Chains A and B, each alone.
Chain A
Amino acid sequence: MDKTSTTIPPFIDRVDGIPKVTGSAKFSAEYDFPGMVYGVLAESTIARGTITGMDTKGAENAPGVLAVVTHLNCPKLPGYESTAADIAKRPEVNRGFRVFTDNIIRFSNQPIAIVVADTYERAVYAASLIKATYKKDKHNTDLNEAIKTGKPVEGNNFKDYVRGEADAWKNAEVKIEVEYSMPLEVHNPMEIHALTVNWEGQDKVTVYEKTQTLSSTQSSIARAFGLKNENVRVITQYVGGAFGSAFNTWPHSIAALIGARKVGKPLKLMLTRSEMFTMVGYRPQAIQKIAIGASKNGKLTGITHEAMAMTASYQVFTEGIVNGSRSLYACPNVNTRYKVYPLDLSQPTWMRGPGETTGAYALESAMDEMAYALNLDPIEFRLRNYAETDPESNKPYSSKFLKEAYQMGVDKIKWNERNREPRSMKEGDWLIGYGMGSGIFSAWRGDAKVSAKFLQDGTLVLQTGVTDMGPGTATSMTKLASDIFGIPASQIKFEMGDSNYPPGPFQGGSGTTSTLGTAVHNVCMNIRKKLADLIKDNPVFHTQLIHSVKPEDLVFENGSMILASDRSKKITYADAMKNAGLPQIELLEQSPANPMANHTAYSYAVHFVIVKVHSITGVVKVTRVVSAVDAGKIVNYKTAESQIIGSAVGGISMTLMEEGVIDHRYGRWVNNNFADYHVAVNADVPKVEVLFVDKPDPILNPIGSKGMGEVGIVGFAAAVANAIFHATGKRVRELPITADKLI
């Protein structure tokens, strides 16, 4: 990226870039303490049933082993005990999974024991010696089977949504009814989930844990072990990607805490890559039926969207798969239905653009099919159904620049110069295709706390309990503070990743920048006020009109307060503090959530993709990506661009490669490794061109920013799938679209 470009606003490089590339950044598995021991899990080989016997002798007698904990000898956890009665009252699907509390097997590869040993290798070996015997029950891990013979989960989350008339598409002049399916997908961040546990006695613990949320990790651990929140310190200085997998406090973490407390030593537990498929969630498989009706001139008259997805037998997981169909287009009649079926698998969880990504794959593919049915350009079809107010709530948008995003992408990729006819564009043996898809994701703002300390030497220290899974939160917050407070980024220390700091927001749902940015904005503005206060009576700044200086009379730039009406009158922050005998200014800011009573807020992305498909072998190559994004004002261009590039990589993987495969006979994974579960490699990813509308949202927060972590992948799969249709004339309605489906 060219820093001197006149079209790109100034940005800063990652503040954590050097620690990360030099290896000085410490991740959760990289803390070492004297006497460190290692925890390794033993896992079930069946998918449903009960453990009838456990032979742990071999493991206990293996060299270096300090403890083996199973359901037979696990100390009772107050959090699990106190809720036992409550749990018993709940339906099975709401009871959750409590590691080592009973002999019930709920999924294959369920942890059934933790072995603690003095070295990792010895723990691995000992864990392999644990032998369990089971009474097998009939299991089902197949969503199609569950739809045929099982019952969906019941509850308020599953009520049908109807706007206007249900199934109005049936009476439309032009209509389509199609079904799309996608397999379950796994986050697979580069950094494997790991934690290092350090108990100080029985009721105080420090946990170095991979998490997207310090405060709920802290309270989950405190609740399970019956501790006071303040006795659980969670430290997460760096996270090597998560994509949603690090919200929950997963059973392996509780197991590690149990093991460490039992032996009274600091303990490290790191999952294996294979365990990443069964221990920390995944994007649920979904089968979606979607029907669209429109008038001949391309006005939508009805959308019906039904999604059937999976969850675990012990834990309902829901997400907004059908939500986008209610809100993306102006359509008077929309009805949606969402069902989830419990399976004997570990529980799914949020994964990048949760729900919306799944739903937009279906909606935006169907919109493309409909555009062809209407003989309309897909962009023109969307513009004819552009929602000027939120069709779901009828409220005005806080801001919406989707039209601008369409146009930016259309211009950049020269959309209108393509031949719209399917299978009409060729280069030798390669068929060329253009496709687009759009994404919508809620923008919001929660509450957050941040503390600030401004020192006479010009250093600003900000502290908050947030973690950064990769988007560059510390970087964008540093840039924001630098801009607002008027000091160079190099003088700002943004400290985070410790539950001892004032609680920041969780990182996810595309709300971190909006939420934490508000707190950082406010605290910087309040220090400005304090500084202005120091000089209000300083006669140097007085004019005929100004007898007492107010913050709004001043410009805060390069570490100085400058009188706006006469820029020759100025004073450095340091001098102002020195004169006042003030060594530092300290503030704690709590910024509230914005409930958005009168508006609706969304971020938007429009993805344009060019693919080439080999006419003989069916091999697909994505050759160009242009993503145009309305995420409000961009705080730091470089990290923002990286977010969208990462989304495109995820989107290419999702469309062309990713597929979690279970052998339903055994209820076991067959591709839980990186040789068999494919994600895009460098050779699969072209240059990704990112365009930002970069217009501030005036309502959501004072910084004008909406979110973008999620929306970058929402609608992406449809763009690729639509491009493949345009190239080949073949509509593959099942992800991933591999070569064998195109020959």
Chain B
Amino acid sequence: MINFEYSRVSSVKAAVDVLAKNPTGRFIAGGTNLVDLMKKGVTAPTRLIDINGLPLKEIKETAAGLSIGALAINSDVSENETVKKNYPLLAMALNAGASPQLRNAATVGGNLMQRTRCTYFYDIAMPCNKRQPGSGCGALQGYNRMHAIFGASDKCIAVHPSDMCVALAALQATITVSGPKGERKILFTDFHRLPGTDPSKDNTLAKGELITGLNIPKNPFTKNVYYLKIRDRASYAFALISVASALELTGNTIKNARLAMGGVAHKPWRLTESEKFLVGKTASRENFTKAAELAMKGARGYGHNNFKLKMGPVAIVEALMKAMV
């Protein structure tokens, strides 16, 4: 690890100012991903700006919905009574991620900012366009069992690793950020981006901006929700495929549906076409299967991850069936 400067800040404005003066610096909160990346030599910020002292830990329900501070700890969110009662999909997704130790350290803002776990990204002796633009994509012709089936490019087939973000995409959250030009809001599904020709950018955060919190609009998805995560072991493994499903039912008719997948794309993958299809339909395995077929349009495998083409629809149907229980 290369030596770096370290500063603590106590206001959002101070944080933004320090970063403006140190453009090669980085904010640090839980550090559960950033420190790994620094140890591996993937990134070498010249200054770490510790934002743990900022007053951004609050979890609060308002008339509009749920507001979560960027520094709220993952486990504080998943254990929050309001979250468990009114936003259970978020709690389920959080508990599916990482390990209790990591969830006790990782923050919500950091969860949004975590980088892909693609092994070629982590090994600085291998090519990776995300780490070193122009060096090539190691995974494209290499070992790509964990990789994307949607929205990838020939420059990058990495996936976003978060579980929480899959639920937030389904719940149509909004992210609040502060920067040198002031505050702005970003729709969750616009935050993470697809790799396209520049996979080095994971998201649409502008230079110098800090995530301060997020809002989940009030929603009817309190009962028929499920977060299905298929992984190689029962805990502490990234998703082969995950599905966040949420249904609002009137009798057996679907009034409203939300679906998003994890482990399949460079960003949490919202299944809007499947959602539209389901609205007004009977909640049945048959309709879920049709919705899953729609979801898989445009999916492609790269070799080791071809199984995801088969596992994907199966997982969507299962997540919807589980949401019914």
| Chain B nearest Cβ from A144, distance in angstroms | 15
Chain B residues with Cβ under 8 A from A621's Cβ? 234
B1 / chain A contacts, CB cutoff of 8 Å: 121, 124-125
Docked complex Cα distance between A682 and B236 (Å): 10
**Which chain B residues border A663 with CB–CB below 8 Å?**
126, 138, 142-143
Are A656 and B233 closer than 8 Å at their CB atoms?
Answer: yes
With known contacts A128-B41, A743-B307, A675–B233 Cβ distance under 8 A: no
Please tell me if A616 contacts chain B, counting CB pairs below 8 Å.
Answer: yes
Taking a contact as CB atoms under 8 Å apart, the answer to whether B307 and A740 are in contact is yes
C-alpha spacing A619/B242, complex, angstroms: 13
Residue A738 at the B interface, CB < 8 A?
yes
B318 interface neighbour in A128, A617, A678, A740, Cβ under 8 Å: A617
Give Cα A663 to B138, complex, Å. 9
Q: At the interface, yes or no: A372 with Cβ under 8 Å from chain B?
A: no
Q: Is the CB of A681 within 8 A of B232?
A: no
- Chain A residues, Cβ within 8 Å of B317: 616
Q: How far is the CA of A126 from the CA of B315 in the complex (A)?
A: 47
Interface presence of A661 (CB below 8 A):
yes
Instruction: Tell me whether A671 and B119 are in contact in the complex, defined as CB-CB below 8 angstroms, given that A740-B307, A743-B311, A743-B314 are known contacts.
Output: yes
Contact with B along A662-680 (1 / 0, CB 8 A): 0101101011010110101
Shortest CB-to-CB span from B306 to chain A, Å, is 9
Alpha-carbon separation in the docked complex, A617 to B143 (Å): 22
Residues of chain B lying within 8 A (CB to CB) of residue A738: 232
Shortest distance from the beta carbon of B215 to any chain A beta carbon, whole Å: 31
Q: How far is the CB of A377 from chain B (nearest CB, A)?
A: 31
| CB of B125 to closest CB in A, whole Å | 4
Are A617 and B315 within 8 A (Cβ)? Answer: yes
Complex CA distance for A740 and B315, rounded to whole angstroms? 12
Question: A680 and B233 in contact (CB under 8 A), knowing A665-B142, A675-B117?
Answer: yes
Cβ of A45 within 8 Å of any chain B Cβ, yes or no, is yes
| CB atoms of A739 and B125 under 8 A apart | no
* CB contact list, B301-319 vs A, under 8 A: 307-308, 310-311, 314-315, 317-318
The reply to whether A678 and B138 form a contact with Cβ atoms under 8 Å apart is no
Most chain-B Cβ atoms within 10 A of its Cβ — which of A665, A666, A670, A675? A670
Of A121, A124, A656, A740, most buried by chain B (CB within 10 Å of CB) is A740
Residues of chain A within 8 A (CB-CB) of B141 are 665
Cβ < 8 Å to B, chain A residues 720-743: 738-741, 743
> Are B240 and A739 within 8 A (Cβ)?
yes
Q: Are A666 and B234 in contact (CB-based, < 8 A)?
A: no
Distance between Cα atoms of A673 and B36 in the complex (Å): 11
Number of interface residues of A (CB under 8 A): 33
Which chain A residues in 590-649 approach chain B with CB under 8 Å? 616-619, 621
Q: A657: which of B232, B235, B238, B318 is its contact (CB, 8 Å)?
A: B232
Say yes or no: B235 contacts A676, CB within 8 Å.
Answer: no
Which of A617, A666, A678, A743 has a CB less than 8 Å from the CB of B232?
A678
In the bound assembly, the distance between CA atoms of A673 and B141 in angstroms comes to: 21
B142 touches A678 (CB 8 A): no
Cβ distance A46 to chain B, nearest Cβ, rounded Å = 9
Does A457 belong to the interface (CB within 8 Å)? no
Q: Contact between B125 and A45 (Cβ–Cβ < 8 Å)?
A: yes
Q: How far is the CB of A711 from chain B (nearest CB, A)?
A: 25
Closest to A46 in B: B125
Say yes or no for B296: interface residue by CB 8 A criterion.
no
- Rounded to whole Å, the gap between the CB of B227 and the closest CB of chain A is 13
A684 interface residue, CB < 8 Å from B? Answer: yes
Q: Given the known A-B contacts A125-B3, A668-B123, are A681 and B236 also in contact in the complex, defined by CB atoms under 8 Å?
A: yes
Q: Which of B2, B123, B232 contacts A739 (CB 8 A)?
A: B232
Is A683 among interface residues, defined by CB-CB distance under 8 A? Answer: yes
A125 to B318, CA, bound (A): 48
Asked if B234 and A683 make an inter-chain contact with CB atoms under 8 angstroms apart, the answer reads: yes
**Which residues from B are CB-within-8-Å of A619?**
230
Does any Cβ of A come within 8 Å of B237's Cβ? yes
- Asked if B310 and A743 make an inter-chain contact with CB atoms under 8 angstroms apart, the answer reads yes
Is B27 part of the contact surface with A, judged by Cβ < 8 Å?
Answer: no
Q: How far is the CA of A608 from the CA of B142 in the complex (A)?
A: 38
B142 & A670 in contact (Cβ 8 Å cutoff): yes
Does B188 touch A at the CB level, under 8 Å? no
Within 8 A of A (CB), among B283-325: 307-308, 310-311, 314-315, 317-318
Asked whether, in the complex, the Cβ of B2 is within 8 Å of the Cβ of A125, the reply is yes
Q: How far is the CB of A407 from chain B (nearest CB, A)?
A: 32
In the complex, whether B120 has a CB less than 8 A from a CB of chain A is: yes
- The listed residue (A661, A681, A740) touching B143 by CB distance below 8 A is A661
B120 near A670: Cβ-Cβ < 8 Å: yes
Q: Which residue from chain B places its CB closest to the CB of A675 in the assembled complex?
A: B117
Contact, CB under 8 Å: A681 / B234: yes
Question: Contact at B240–A740, with CB atoms within 8 Å?
Answer: yes
* Contact partners of A665 in chain B: CB under 8 A: 141-142
Determine the distance from Cα of A36 to Cα of B133 in the docked complex, in whole angstroms: 41
Residue of B nearest to A740 (CB): B307
A676 touches B119 (CB 8 A): yes
| Residue from the set A128, A675, A684 with the largest chain B CB neighbour count within 10 Å | A675
Cβ contacts under 8 Å, B142 to chain A: 663, 665, 670
Binary contact readout A116-134 vs B (1 if CB under 8 angstroms, 0 otherwise): 0000010011001000000
Across the interface, do A739 and B311 meet the contact criterion of CB distance under 8 Å?
yes
Quick check: A617 and B234 within 8 Å, CB to CB? Answer: no
**What residues of B have a CB within 8 angstroms of the CB of A671 in the complex?**
119, 143
A399–B258 alpha-carbon span in the complex (Å): 65
Which chain A residues lie closer than 8 Å to B119 at the CB level? 670-671, 676
Q: Closest residue of chain A to B238, judged by CB?
A: A675
B9 to chain A, nearest CB (A): 25
CA distance A617 to B117 in the complex (A): 23
Contact with A670, one of B3, B123, B307 (Cβ below 8 angstroms) = B123
Chain A, Cβ-Cβ closest to B230: A617
Contact of B311 among A617, A656, A661, A680 (CB under 8 A): A617
A670 and B240 contacting across the interface, CB-CB below 8 Å: no
Q: Separation in Å of the B243 CB from the closest CB of chain A?
A: 10
Give which listed residue, B2, B41, B125, B318, contacts A668 with CB less than 8 A: B125
Contact present for B314 and A678 (CB under 8 Å): no
- What 1/0 flags go to B130-155 for Cβ under 8 Å of A? 00000000100111000000000000
Q: Which chain B residues lie closer than 8 Å to A125 at the CB level?
A: 1-3
Check if B234 sits within 8 Å of A670, measured CB to CB. no
Whether B126 pairs with A668 at a CB distance below 8 angstroms is yes
Contact A681 B235 (CB under 8 A): yes
Distance, CA A618 to CA B240, complexed state (A): 12
0/1 string, A426-451, CB within 8 A of B gives 1:
00000000000000000000000000
Chain A's closest residue to B306 (CB) is A740
Which residues 14-55 in B have Cβ within 8 Å of A in the complex?
A: 41
CB distance from B245 to the nearest CB of A (A): 14
Assembled-state Cα–Cα distance A128/B41 (Å): 8
Contact flags (1/0) for A357-384 with B, using CB distance below 8 Å?
A: 0000000000000000000000000000
Q: Roughly how many angstroms separate A128 CA and B236 CA in the complex, as a whole number?
A: 30
Instruction: Give min CB distance, A228 to chain B, whole Å.
Output: 41
Contacting B at CB under 8 A, from A685-743, are 738-741, 743
Among residues of B, the one whose C-beta sits closest to the C-beta of A109 is B125
How far is it, in angstroms, between the C-alpha of A675 and the C-alpha of B230 when the chains are bound? 15
B120: chain A residues at CB < 8 Å are: 670
Interface core residue of B142, B232, B308 (most chain A CB under 10 Å): B232
B153 CB to nearest chain A CB (Å): 20
Are the CB atoms of A617 and B314 closer together than 8 Å? yes
- Bound: A671/B315 CA distance, A: 25
List residues 40-81 of chain B with CB under 8 A from any CB of chain A: 41
Beyond A668-B125, A681-B235, 10 additional contacts (C-beta under 8 Å) are A128-B2, A616-B318, A617-B228, A617-B315, A618-B230, A661-B143, A739-B311, A740-B240, A740-B308, A740-B311
> Can you list 9 A-B pairs with a CB-CB distance of less than 8 A?
A124-B1, A125-B2, A618-B230, A671-B143, A673-B122, A678-B233, A680-B233, A740-B311, A743-B307
In the A-B complex, the 3 residue pairs with the smallest Cβ-Cβ separation, listed nearest first, are: A683-B234, A740-B307, A45-B125
Interface residues of B (CB under 8 A from A): 1-3, 41, 117, 119-120, 122-123, 125-126, 138, 141-143, 228, 230, 232-238, 240, 307-308, 310-311, 314-315, 317-318
